[in-house]
């Protein structure tokens, strides 16, 4: 019989969208409830492209923390074809910018300023390799003739392998991997290549989005894949392999932006992220592997200390509201109107 309680070092979220402005009170509170640190995505409008932007954004995030919270936002820069090597060094020197995010232009939400031609960012990538700053990759090609379900796999051979060959010391996180192929690729690489895995990709396959009616709140990018892919992700996450760690990719969009003719990509798991991961690990009979995945391996990869504080998960059904207040609008969270099976006790 699996345990009904689990105490682990306070986890971190290595891939999170906090948004900006009024949205921060929701997203930062939800993250700070459980996570000690989070890698904060830079795809704001306009994007966070300079060290100065990142510091200003960090300040806004810190101001949105609940009183007494020691939640630590770890900032990122948004890579463009104009990112100068000097900007990378300035970002590193702030001490608060921990990584740089690559969005192929057109791949996802607010990626228009992203990279069209990877050949044009080699100088910036060299500066990152020198600075020891990891590149966080949204790994999908955007070619019109590549099927959306094949875009991650096409990125591996077509873009990622050549990029890694051109930059043999650059550290890379293949973000939110969604396919068996991506898991196999990461496993085939040396320790400088790691991957994050979301809770929703561990819990859902594309049938859960498309069978019996389209469910826009389960639409995200990279899009949910086949059951065999979900199983490969679950196997990787629960394997104890330190190259796979927690990155929720919790990405809120107001209800109206999801339930419309051209709905935005993004799933909001921020209200229950750790609990959802616990469900997935429990399904796999691997709760004992959750701490490595959620609390140790990401910190180790980023060269940051493991957390000293601890949190306790207790098996207890918790209802999820049908919607949450979000910057004057409504946000439909993952499992809206249903339950999650765990509760975080001491955070």
Is 7 in contact with 238 (CB distance < 8 Å)?
A: no
Residue with tokens 């699996």: 2
Nearer residue to ligand DOR within complex by CB, 150 or 288: 150
Q: How far is the CB of 65 from ligand DOR (least distance, A)?
A: 21
- 3-class state of residue 308 by DSSP: coil
182 binds ligand DOR (CB under 6 A): no
Identify the residue among 17, 171, 201, 335 touching ligand DOR (CB under 6 A).
17
173 binds ligand DOR (CB under 6 A): no
- Residues composing the chain: 347
Size of the site for ligand DOR (CB under 6 A): 10
195 binds ligand DOR (CB under 6 A): no
Nearer residue to Zn ion within complex by CB, 42 or 292: 42
251 binds ligand DOR (CB under 6 A): yes
3-class SS shares of the chain: helix, strand, coil, % to 5: 40, 20, 45
256 catalytic? Reply is: no
**Can the peptide bond before residue 253 be classed as cis, meaning omega within 30 degrees of 0?**
no
From ligand DOR, Zn ion, none, interface partner of 196 (C-beta below 5 to 8 A by class): none
Nearer residue to Zn ion within complex by CB, 140 or 249: 249
d(CA 69, CA 208): 36
Nearer residue to ligand DOR within complex by CB, 10 or 17: 17
Nearer residue to ligand DOR within complex by CB, 242 or 265: 265
108 binds ligand DOR (CB under 6 A): yes
Is 13 in contact with 39 (CB distance < 8 Å)?
A: yes
Q: Which one from 53, 229, 241, 249 is the annotated catalytic residue? A: 249
d(CA 48, CA 216): 27
Q: Helix 85-94 and helix 122-131: axis angle, to 10°?
A: 30
From Zn ion, ligand DOR, none, interface partner of 200 (C-beta below 5 to 8 A by class): none
Extended beta strands in the chain, E state: 5-9, 13-16, 37-40, 72-78, 97-102, 135-137, 172-174, 193-197, 244-246, 310-319, 324-326, 329-331, 339-344
249 binds Zn ion (CB under 5 A): yes
From Zn ion, ligand DOR, none, interface partner of 221 (C-beta below 5 to 8 A by class): ligand DOR
**Can the peptide bond before residue 294 be classed as cis, meaning omega within 30 degrees of 0?**
no
Positions annotated as catalytic residues are 249
Query: What residues make contact with ligand DOR under the rule CB under 6 A?
Result: 17, 43, 108-109, 138, 220-221, 251, 265-266
């Amino acid at each position: 019989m699996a345990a009904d309680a689990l105490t682990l070092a306070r986890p971190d979220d290595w891939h999170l969208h906090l948004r900006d402005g009024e949205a921060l009170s929701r997203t930062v509170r939800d993250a700070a409830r459980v996570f000690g640190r989070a890698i904060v995505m830079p795809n704001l409008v306009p994007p966070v492209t300079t060290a100065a932007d990142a510091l200003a954004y960090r300040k806004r995030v810190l101001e949105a923390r609940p009183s007494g919270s020691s939640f630590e936002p770890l900032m990122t820069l948004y890579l463009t074809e104009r990112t100068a090597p000097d900007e990378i060094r300035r970002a590193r020197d702030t001490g608060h910018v921990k990584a740089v995010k690559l969005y192929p232009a057109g791949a996802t939400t607010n990626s228009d300023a992203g990279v069209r031609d990877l050949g044009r960012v080699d100088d910036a990538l060299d500066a990152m390799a020198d600075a020891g700053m990891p590149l966080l990759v949204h790994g999908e090609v955007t070619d019109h003739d590549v099927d959306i379900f094949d875009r991650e796999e096409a990125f591996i051979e077509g873009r990622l392998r050549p990029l890694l060959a051109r930059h043999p010391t650059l550290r890379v996180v293949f973000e939110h991997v969604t396919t068996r192929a991506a898991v196999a690729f990461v496993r085939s690489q040396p320790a400088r290549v790691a991957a994050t895995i979301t809770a929703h990709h561990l819990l859902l396959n594309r049938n859960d989005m498309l069978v019996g009616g389209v469910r826009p709140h389960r639409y995200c990018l990279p899009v949910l894949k086949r059951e065999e892919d979900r199983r490969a992700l679950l196997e990787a996450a629960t394997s104890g392999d330190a190259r796979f760690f927690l990155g929720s990719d919790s990405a809120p969009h107001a209800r109206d932006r999801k339930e419309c003719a051209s709905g935005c990509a993004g799933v909001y798991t921020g209200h229950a992220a750790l609990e959802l991961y616990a469900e997935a690990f429990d399904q796999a009979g691997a709760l004992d592997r959750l701490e490595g995945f959620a609390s140790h391996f990401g910190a180790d990869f980023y060269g940051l200390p493991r957390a000293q504080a601890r949190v306790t998960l207790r098996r207890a059904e918790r209802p999820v509201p049908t919607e949450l207040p979000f910057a004057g609008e409504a946000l439909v969270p993952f499992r809206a109107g249903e339950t999650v099976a765990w509760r975080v006790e001491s955070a």
